[in-house]
């Protein structure tokens, strides 16, 4: 489902030609950033910043791209875009989920268009070069006798699967993952994602820089007035990890009794927490009542809140008793971002009998639409010659500031490795 409107005022209008490397252009902009403030204007608007972000941020980070239940059997494939870069996930004959650059080793055509597919082999639609599910080249018609197929297998990418979630990294050397994986398994395993199924998905085109989209998604300063539907069930007045109140402590004590991990924990690029929803609320829905008759998290007490996972640079996830919602923001251009949403329910839940697809999607579809308007308005204002980076609220925008600080630290690390200094 593609949601799209004009929003011409927020479209990408940057047509500048870089005369130097993106690194050399962006370094002074990072150096100019004031602590505790939003970013200098060019980091939200220019092609140089977009090119840098793809290489330095998305090209070196672990990215949450989907669920193992989207590749249920050998021959299942899932083709996705990481910005302008096509990738391909494959369930091979041994049961392993592998990842490859979705680019034929002949002349570079993509092997599979974005989406889910099923096939015993990977066949390039251009010249019929054929690959096994493990990436080996099996056939290359009309190539010379001395041609060595073993030198032309698909180029792999790093893949890690944790309790039904799929992460990829496109870097030659991926960042350390095991610490995060151990904590994540504690939090997400009770939700039985491996036995779930994809019940719905959507893509929303937002004409705003990806960092504005993510800053918006990392704070609820705006939620009380801008998300009345979400506010009915979600504790929108929260601060950071929902800690500090008597209700939060009571909820944490109850989770200990239920043997569910709940204590907020975070690493450099990830955050985990289980928090209580509004009083009397069982799940994130329009009325707080379950959307799926068959729960994913079976407990005598259905008031177990939401398990929140946030992954920098681009995603967050909420797992409640009856379903899981994933928000995934992918940059497409300097001022265009595609927000992919996915809803997971129990594998044996029957649409029309155990859940209604439209009702399942309703709350987050409304919320994401409201956030689209906010992000596009934000982009239009940031484009103004009068834009000046402003301060974050230490109470209401702690996680938005944490995201921006992480982004700047990650950029500084990359610039240091490339030997690029601010002018």
Interval 19-45: pLDDT, tens:
348 999 999 999 999 999 999 999 999
Beta bridge partners of 37: 391
Nearest to 271 by CA among 174, 118, 400, 417: 400
Residue 241: the pLDDT is: 56
- Residue 421's pLDDT is 63
Residue-by-residue DSSP string for 262-292: -S-EE-SSEEEEEE--STT--SSSSSSS-SB
- pLDDT of 60 reads 98
Domain ranges of the chain: 1-61+190-423, 63-169
Q: Which residue is listed with tokens 């055509």? A: 109
Query: What's the confidence (pLDDT) of residue 18?
Result: 43
- Per the CB < 8 A criterion, the answer to whether 258 and 214 are in contact is no
pLDDT value, residue 9: 35
Q: How many other C-beta atoms lie within 10 A of the C-beta of residue 205?
A: 15
Contacting residues for 79 by C-beta, under 8 A, at least 6 apart? 86, 87, 88, 89, 102, 110, 111, 112, 113, 114, 115, 117
Provide the CATH topology of domain 1-61+190-423: Naphthalene 1,2-dioxygenase Alpha Subunit; Chain A, domain 1 (3.90.380)
Residue 4's Cβ-count burial label (10 Å; 0-12, 13-18, 19+) is: exposed
C-alpha span between 263 and 338 (Å, rounded): 32
> CB of 311 within 8 A of CB of 63?
yes
pLDDT at 300: 75
pLDDT of residue 247: 77
Residues 52-98 pLDDT 10s = 999 999 999 999 999 999 999 999 999 999 999 999 999 999 999 99
CB 236 within 8 A of CB 230: yes
User: What does the alpha-carbon distance between residue 324 and residue 301 come to, in Å, rounded to a whole number?
Assistant: 18
Alpha carbons 295 and 321: distance in angstroms, whole number:
6
Listed in order, strand segments (DSSP E) in 11-60 are none
- Model pLDDT, residue 248: 82
Residues of the chain with confidence (pLDDT) below 50? 1-20, 423
Q: CA-to-CA distance for 80 and 330, rounded, in angstroms?
A: 10
What gap in Å lies between CA 130 and CA 382, rounded to an integer?
48
The yes/no answer on whether domain 63-169 falls in CATH 1.25.40.10 is no
């Amino acid at each position: 489902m593609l949601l799209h409107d004009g929003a011409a005022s927020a479209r990408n209008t940057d047509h500048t030609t870089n005369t130097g490397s993106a690194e050399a252009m962006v370094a002074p902009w990072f150096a100019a950033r004031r602590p505790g403030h939003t970013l200098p204007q060019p980091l939200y608007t220019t092609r140089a910043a977009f090119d840098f972000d793809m290489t330095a941020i998305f090209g070196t980070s672990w990215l949450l791209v989907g669920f193992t239940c989207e590749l249920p059997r050998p021959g299942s494939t899932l083709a996705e875009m990481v910005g302008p870069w096509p990738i391909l996930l494959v369930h091979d004959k041994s049961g392993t989920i592998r990842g490859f650059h979705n680019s034929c080793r002949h002349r570079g055509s993509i092997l599979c268009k974005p989406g889910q597919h099923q096939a015993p082999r990977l066949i390039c639609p251009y010249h019929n070069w054929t690959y096994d599910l493990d990436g080996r080249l099996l056939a290359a018609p009309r190539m010379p006798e001395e041609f060595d197929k073993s030198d032309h297998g698909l180029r792999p990418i790093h893949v890690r699967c944790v309790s039904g979630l799929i992460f990829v990294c496109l870097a030659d050397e991926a960042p350390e993952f095991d610490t995060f994986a151990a904590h994540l398994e504690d939090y997400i395993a009770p939700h039985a994602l491996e036995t779930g199924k994809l019940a719905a998905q959507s893509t929303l085109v937002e004409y705003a820089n990806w960092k504005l989209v993510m800053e918006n998604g990392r704070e609820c300063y705006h939620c009380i007035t801008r998300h009345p539907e979400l506010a009915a069930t979600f504790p929108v007045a929260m601060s950071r990890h929902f800690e500090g109140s008597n209700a939060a402590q009571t909820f944490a004590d109850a989770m200990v009794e239920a043997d569910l991990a709940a204590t907020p924990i975070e690493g450099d690029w990830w955050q985990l927490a289980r928090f209580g929803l509004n009083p009397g609320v069982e799940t994130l829905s329009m009325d707080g009542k379950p959307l799926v008759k068959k729960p994913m998290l079976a407990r005598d007490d259905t008031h177990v809140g939401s398990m929140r996972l946030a992954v920098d640079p681009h995603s967050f996830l909420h797992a409640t008793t009856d379903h899981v919602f994933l928000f995934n923001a992918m940059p497409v251009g300097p001022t265009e971002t595609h927000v992919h949403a996915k809803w997971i329910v129990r594998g044996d839940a029957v649409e029309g009998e155990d859940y209604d697809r439209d009702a399942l999607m309703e709350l987050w579809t409304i919320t994401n639409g409201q956030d689209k308007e906010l992000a596009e308005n934000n982009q239009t204002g940031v484009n103004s010659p009068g834009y000046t980076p402003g301060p974050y609220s230490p109470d209401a925008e702690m996680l938005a500031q944490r995201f921006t600080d992480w982004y700047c630290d990650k950029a500084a690390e990359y610039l240091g490795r490339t030997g690029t200094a601010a002018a």
